[in-house]
A and B are shown apart, each in its own frame.
Chain A
Amino acid sequence: MKPGVTFGGLAAIVLVLAAVAGSFAYLDMPLGALFTGAAVGEAVAFVQRFFPPDLSADFLAKVGGAALETLAISLVSTLLAAVAGALLAMPAAGRQGRAVRRVARFVLNLLRSVPELVWATLMVLAAGLGPFAGTLALALHTTGVLGRLFAEALENAPPTPAEALAGSGTPAVAAFLYGTLPLVAPQWLAYSLYRWEMNIRMAAILGFVGAGGLGGLLYYSLSLFHEAEASTVILAMLAMAIAVDGASAWLRRKA
């Protein structure tokens, strides 16, 4: 049934290989230089400075605080984004006409296309250094992502329950809450949880541009050449990532 290799497929493969070769050539990667004795020695010395990690109680408390801040940023931003995404999803699903739908989709695409870290640099300017800027940045990007997913769920939901309620004089807001929301709520929740998982990872690096969380601590330690401290922070990030991974895998298996 499947044709072997079509001409288009072959052309695509050649193009991809050419693009990869071209990329390495353009970047002029000093791959050879990487493996000279001196470079290897330098790298090993650099890695050695990270061991052993700084496990003093003082610093661990600091890392714990920053980890908690990271978690808080991810939670609050996802919550804000879920609310804003839901509000934008309704016009984006075409409930207020096609012109409004266009505008809403454009806004969502704009929010989504600007990376979190870029939003963070902008928000640091708008709200000052600190976790609040990070929260806003993550919330803005996530609103774009969730808004689009929410709108798709809305467009796919059967309209009859809400129409039946509207047919017995129910105002639009109540008809939505009783007739449509129960249909999309499980999907909306699943999308939000999935995004929260990604936002925990993201919140850990927003600190690079001064927006709070573990990233700030890492950036600061490395700038001061305190590699032992940096290695503790990286371990904390790793632990968080693995915990989130495990928790979500467990949840998915239960669901």
Chain B
Amino acid sequence: MNLSLEGVGLVHANGHQALRWIDLHVEAGERVALIGASGAGKTTLLRVLAAALRPSGGRLRMEGGDPWAASPAVLRQLRARIGLVHQAPPIPPRQRVVTAVLAGRLGQWPLWKSLASLVLPADAEGARRELARLDLADKLFERCDRLSGGQLQRVALARVLYQQPDLLLADEPVSAMDPALSELTVALLNEEASRRRVTLVASLHAVDLALRHFPRVVGVKDSGVLFDLPASQVTEGQLRELYAAEGGLPIAGAPASAIVDLSPLRCS
């Protein structure tokens, strides 16, 4: 799925301007990382891309059409093809993992199937397969409130993987995981996107993860786009400017096994 934002602005209900004149074009199958300081507008931008927040100015186009001009039924069908991994996993605590993962396809299932699946999981094998990719297969029938923060975040990821969307959006999907697991998980997202040729846009708190795994990196600062470059062309100066207010670059840290290539930070 390709998308384009032209001069998009967004004002939250309380009057706060969270996005200002954003121009962004993403081709089908592209993989883009969003980086930027906390409060820069990454989450808001992802929610606009997910057709969950309606821009207050400018134009959003997905596959050439404006989702907000479409009928409610068409908008719903479009949303069923968009998978958003939320920053805080939006999963009811007492729900079982299997149910939480299967909920990814509720937009595609007929109502009777959704109902029946509440009693007897309609596709426990499918849910187990996605969980296995995240090394969580043994938690299939566990209750979500018995999981750690990182495990819950992986359940939310498994839900979106199970949804098999054409547009994969992820909002700080590894914020509660340790460095090694973050590395594996971000790699998995990229592998999934390349294999199924779907578009991936992910915001990441850790710069090194973004630079290492994504071909294209967009720096968001003060509600606008500071830079939009191939990962190899991002300069250290640009990064310093991006995080100027935070004092220091956020880095996930090197997993013991992987050699962290920080060359992109130093080059050019």
Chain A positions within 8 Å of B, measured between CB atoms, are: 160-161, 163-171, 173-175, 177-180, 182-183, 185-186
Q: In the complex the two chains form, is B163's CB within 8 Å of A168's CB?
A: yes
Interface presence of B84 (CB below 8 A): yes
Q: List 24 A-B contacts (CB under 8 A).
A: A160-B86, A160-B88, A160-B90, A161-B91, A164-B84, A165-B103, A168-B84, A168-B165, A169-B77, A169-B107, A169-B108, A170-B103, A170-B106, A171-B76, A171-B106, A171-B107, A173-B114, A174-B115, A178-B95, A178-B103, A178-B118, A179-B103, A183-B92, A186-B94
Q: Given contacts A169-B80, A177-B115, A178-B103, could you give 20 more A-B pairs where the C-beta distance is less than 8 Å?
A: A160-B90, A161-B90, A161-B91, A161-B92, A164-B90, A165-B90, A165-B106, A168-B82, A169-B77, A169-B78, A169-B82, A169-B106, A170-B103, A171-B76, A174-B111, A178-B95, A178-B106, A178-B118, A182-B94, A183-B94
Q: Are A177 and B114 touching (Cβ within 8 A)?
A: yes
Q: Is B83 an interface residue (CB 8 A)?
A: yes
Which residues does chain B contribute within 8 Å of A183, judged by CB atoms? 92-94
Q: Point out the residues of chain B lying under 8 angstroms from A179, CB to CB.
A: 90, 92, 103
> Interface majority SS on A: helix, strand, loop or mixed?
helix
Point out the residue from A160, A167, A170, A175 that lies within 8 Å of B50, measured CB to CB: A167
Q: Closest 9 CB pairs between A and B?
A: A169-B80, A169-B107, A182-B92, A164-B90, A169-B79, A170-B106, A174-B114, A160-B90, A161-B90
Q: How far is the CA of A161 from the CA of B88 in the complex (A)?
A: 10
Query: Which of A161, A166, A169, A174 is the most central at the interface, judged by chain B CB atoms within 10 Å of its CB?
Result: A169
B185 interface hit (Cβ, 8 Å): no
A186 to B145, CA, bound (A): 14
**Chain A proximity mask over B114-138: 1 for CB below 8 Å, otherwise 0:** 1100100000000000000000000
Instruction: Give the residue of A161, A163, A169 whose beta carbon is less than 8 angstroms from that of B76.
Output: A169
Q: Is the CB of A169 within 8 A of B81?
A: yes
Check: B52 CB closer than 8 A to any chain A CB: yes
Closest to B106 in A: A170
Give the shortest distance, in Å, between A248 (CB) and chain B (any CB): 22
Q: Does B99 contact A (CB under 8 A)?
A: yes
Q: Which of A163, A168, A169, A179 has the most CB of B within 10 A?
A: A168
Residues of the A chain whose Cβ atoms lie less than 8 Å from the Cβ of B77: 169
Instruction: Determine the distance from Cα of A183 to Cα of B144 in the docked complex, in whole angstroms.
Output: 12
Distance in angstroms between the alpha carbons of A174 and B111 in the assembled complex: 7
In the complex, chain A residues whose CB is within 8 Å of the CB of B94: 182-183, 185-186
A182 touches B95 (CB 8 A): yes
A168 engages B79 (CB within 8 Å): yes
Shortest C-beta distance, A180 to chain B (Å), equals: 8
